Amino acid sequence: MTSEVKKLIENIYEAIGETPLLRLKRIVKHYDVEGDIYAKLEYLNPGYSKKDRPALQMIEEAERSGELKPGQTVVELTSGNTGTGLALVCGAKGHPFVAVMSEGNSPERARMMRALGAEVVLVPQSEGAVEGQVSGRDLELVERRTGALVMEREAFRADQFRLDSSYRAHLENTAVEMWEQSDGRIDCFVDLVGSGGTFEGCAEKLKSYRSDIRCYVAEPAAAAVYAGCPLSNGGRHRIQGCGYAMDLPKIKRKHIDGCVQVTDEDACRTTRDLARLEGCFVGISSGANVWAAIQLLRGKERGGTIALTLNDSGLKYLSSDLFP
């Protein structure tokens, strides 16, 4: 496959997408597994995460339909990544943006959104919560504050959990790029689910290319609801931006061929290994994705080729103990 270098662009959001696909051969060798892991380097988007894609898709589809008016305020809840994408897209398109985020998320995310011109509203965590471990109960509090702000500001809600545009970004772009970059050499796809848009968009598109491609949901071990496991530790875990212990509106269960659980410890260790061995300085959810792939290559997908995304940058976690 040959690719063309993008010409001069006029807006930062034109830099979103067309990220490289990297074969993680050093990780595969280090963990002594048989097969290949193809990682989409989504942390190289301008907002340093895969969430730039749905941010752009949601805003542009809403502008085309007339649901989002020129200069209208945009509001959305976020763990930081969708908010960062919306901040840079809305800034370039002239929409004020309000990000609503739990105080349990890393502070780098709030600082970055503010630097990009966003107003950031931080919501205290639920009683008994642990900083750095955002649960479904914490997300409920953020959702309530978000709804109130939408009404107060007469804003457009860029609802990543419910808008079809949030998963179409991956259906029409991420999965297509993966398929073309790999020359169709994909046996399965695995994704740690947050809003569910990446999993659903990629699973639907990849299965349309070849119906026997298997698609796996990865989940924090403490909040593995799709695997049917009871919550442990109150559903709290360290893997930010995912594992909210809830059914996700965008995910169709017919696309789920299996589930993989990931502990905090395995996700952290694999994240550090990605930096040390592959030069991929990414966040904890990326490590969780790769650990899930390693488990699959040790089991039912031995010898296969697994595609996944490296979701966001390790720069967003420097205040945590992810990188001692």
Which residues fall within 8 angstroms of residue 265, CB to CB, at 6 or more apart? none
**Among all chains, which residue has been given the structure tokens 């073309």?**
180
Instruction: Look at residue 169 and give its three-state secondary structure.
Output: helix
Quickly count: other Cβ atoms within 10 Å of residue 51's Cβ.
30
Best CA proximity match to 86, nearest among 134, 123, 46: 46
Kind of pairing between the strands at 156-157 and 74-77: parallel
Best CA proximity match to 248, nearest among 283, 289, 198, 297: 198
Phi, psi of 164 (to 5 degrees): -60, -30
Instruction: Look at residue 47 and give its three-state secondary structure.
Output: coil
Residues known to be catalytic:
51, 285
262/125 Cα distance (integer angstroms): 24
Contact 49, 311 (CB under 8 A): yes
Tokens standing for residue 176: 């297509």
Contact 130, 110 (CB under 8 A): no
Contact 175, 168 (CB under 8 A): no
Best CA proximity match to 307, nearest among 16, 24, 33: 24
Task: Give ∠ CA 310-182-59 in degrees, rounded to 5.
Answer: 50
